[in-house]
Amino acid sequence: MKRAVLLLGVVGLLAGAVVHRHAQIAVGEHRVARLVAEISELEIQKARLQVVALELSSLPRIERVARQELGMTNPKEPQILRVGVQGGN
């Protein structure tokens, strides 16, 4: 009888360990799936931000902002000073 109870206890412990391990695996798989989805969302966001960065750094846009928002104009000839460089270094 004692042997049967001991055997039943060991089987119960092993079964509990297996169930616990399967639960850990399920939690890990869920976490991996969530991280994969997050990576996909971040890749989409990165692509959008790259498009925005390209649009913001385009020369026509920079010139428009400089002229319209900052009031900048092309320099006039007397405002340009050419500096010569002496020596090779």
For residue 25, the model assigns a pLDDT of 97
Mean pLDDT calculated for residue range 59-79: 91
Contact in structure between 49 and 41 (CB atoms under 8 Å): no
* pLDDT at 89 > cutoff 70: no
Cβ(75)–Cβ(81) below 8 Å: no
Query: Looking at residue 27, what is its pLDDT?
Result: 96
The pLDDT of residue 72 is above 80: yes
What is the Cα Rg of the chain in Å?
Answer: 35
Q: Quick count: other Cβ atoms within 10 Å of Cβ 76?
A: 7
Read off the pLDDT of residues 20-46 as tens digits, 9 standing for 90 and up: 999 999 999 999 999 999 999 999 999
Provide the mean pLDDT of the chain.
91
Amino acid making up residue 64: R
Mean pLDDT of 54-77: 93
Structure tokens at 68: 């319209």
Going from N- to C-terminal start, the domains of the chain cover 2-70
Residue 12 confidence (pLDDT) above 70: yes
